[in-house]
């Protein structure tokens, strides 16, 4: 196991505490026989980018063509019951970039027992959950690019994220949450609105409006009454260490649940997602506020990348 492989496994394990319960299948190694390298910008569009839960990182095939016939090779940590996979086909930075790149139209999954299955994707900027005709007991799979929707600018086919599941998945953190906030940093493109804390990407952020963040709150609608057991949050701009230190963070996070109860947690002043076990509580919404604000070195913008809840 090389260092990169270990990093991928660790990243997946840290992001998915639910793994012990299966549902999402841990990937031990991901590679491709075609990778785009932008030497000028020093960017490698490597396959591990599909596992990092970031919208601005992706795998891109490195051919002059659209890369048809090239493949992604996935090795699981053990033998798994592969039943479904979820794919973010194309470049998910924003709608403009999504249209400019090729999108995936058809894939062929080849299994170690020499069987295969072709699947078709819609041309929509949304994750697509694909169920296999029958679940396969495998420790690896190869995924071939078979067809594409043509981008308006670049003949590059991108995949931003991939997830694999057994028949029980997806069964991780709650999905389909909505969020509003007491304020947000206003720019033309609505880059920093509250919905960014529940969009699944660690590299998209809610940023507060005026003030340090101490007077702000985020309201999460859970989409129904849920029995909550666990909570995770990513506070601060974690794009780089200097961005992280440059902006405001917080020492404490407080959750006020729709039943009126509250729970507070101490935050470490470090980039990345932090997880907490909740005292069991049933709620349909949660208001999140912050205390113990740490001043940024270069600005007083308060960032939150993601908020997650588990039943
Ligand atoms: Ca990514
Ligand atoms: Ca986000």
pLDDT, one tens digit per residue, over 164-202 is 999 998 988 999 999 999 999 999 989 999 999 999 999
Q: 305 alpha carbon to ligand 2 midpoint, in Å? A: 4
Helix (H) or strand (E) segment spanning residue 220: strand 217-235
Which has the closest alpha carbon to 122: 98, 89, 95, 78?
Answer: 89
- Ligand closest to 54 (CA) is 1
Tokens, residue 193 = 């609105």
SS3 14: helix
CA distance 139 to 136: 9
pLDDT, one tens digit per residue, over 252-269 is 999 999 999 999 999 999
Q: Are 201 and 308 in contact (CB under 8 A)?
A: no
Give the long-range contacts of residues 4-7, CB within 8 A, separation 24 or more.
Answer: 4/48, 5/29, 7/48
Q: 204 alpha carbon to ligand 2 midpoint, in Å? A: 4
CA distance 158 to 99: 11
Q: 79 alpha carbon to ligand 1 midpoint, in Å? A: 25
Show pLDDT as tens, one digit a residue, over the chain (311 residues).
454 444 444 444 444 444 445 689 999 999 999 999 999 999 999 999 999 999 999 999 999 999 999 999 999 999 999 999 999 999 999 999 999 999 999 999 999 999 999 999 999 999 999 999 999 999 999 999 999 999 999 999 999 999 999 999 898 899 999 999 999 999 998 999 999 999 999 999 999 999 999 999 999 999 999 999 999 999 999 999 999 999 999 999 999 999 999 999 999 999 999 999 999 999 999 999 999 999 999 999 999 999 999 99
Q: 309 alpha carbon to ligand 2 midpoint, in Å? A: 14
Distances (CA, A) of 250 to 81, 219, 293: 41, 17, 4
CA distance 50 to 61: 13
The confidence score (pLDDT) of residue 297 equals 97
The gap from C-alpha 273 to its chain's centroid, in whole angstroms, comes to 12
DSSP assignment of 149-162, as one string?
A: EPPSS---BEEEEE
Q: Are 208 and 216 in contact (CB under 8 A)?
A: yes
Cβ–Cβ contacts within 10 Å for residue 277, how many? 12
Tokens, residue 268 = 């470490």
Q: Tell me the percentage of the chain whose pLDDT exceeds 90.
A: 91
Q: 307 alpha carbon to ligand 2 midpoint, in Å? A: 8
CA distance 97 to 240: 23
The confidence score (pLDDT) of residue 21 equals 54
Domains of the chain: 3-165 (2.60.120.260), 178-310 (2.60.120.260)
The confidence score (pLDDT) of residue 20 equals 46
């Amino acid at each position: 196991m090389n260092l990169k492989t270990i990093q991928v496994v660790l990243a997946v394990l840290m992001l998915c505490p639910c793994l012990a319960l299966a549902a999402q299948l841990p990937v031990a190694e991901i590679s491709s026989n075609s990778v785009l390298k932008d030497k000028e910008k020093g960017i490698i569009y490597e396959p591990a980018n599909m596992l990092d839960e970031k919208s601005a990182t992706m795998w891109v095939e490195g051919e002059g063509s659209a890369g048809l016939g090239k493949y992604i090779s996935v090795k699981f940590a053990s033998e798994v019951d592969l039943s479904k996979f979820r794919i973010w086909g194309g470049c998910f930075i924003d709608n403009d970039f999504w249209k400019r790149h090729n999108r995936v139209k058809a894939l062929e999954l080849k299994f170690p027992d020499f069987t295969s299955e072709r699947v078709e994707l819609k041309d929509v900027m949304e994750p697509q959950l694909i169920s296999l005709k029958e679940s396969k007991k495998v420790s690896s799979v190869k995924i071939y690019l078979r067809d594409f929707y043509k981008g308006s600018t670049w003949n590059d086919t991108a995949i931003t994220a991939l997830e694999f599941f057994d028949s029980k998945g997806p069964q991780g953190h709650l999905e389909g949450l909505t969020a509003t906030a007491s304020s947000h940093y206003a720019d033309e493109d609505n880059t920093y609105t509250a919905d960014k804390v529940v969009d699944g990407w660690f590299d998209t952020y809610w940023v507060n409006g005026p003030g340090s963040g101490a007077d702000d709150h985020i309201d999460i609608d859970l989409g129904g009454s849920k029995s909550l057991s666990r909570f995770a949050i990513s506070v601060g701009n974690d794009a780089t260490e200097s961005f992280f230190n440059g902006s405001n963070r917080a020492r404490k996070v407080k959750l006020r649940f729709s039943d009126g109860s509250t729970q507070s947690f101490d935050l470490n002043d470090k980039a990345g997602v932090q997880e907490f076990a909740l005292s069991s509580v049933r709620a349909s919404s949660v208001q999140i506020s912050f205390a113990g604000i740490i001043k940024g070195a270069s600005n007083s913008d308060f960032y939150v990348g993601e908020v997650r809840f588990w039943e």
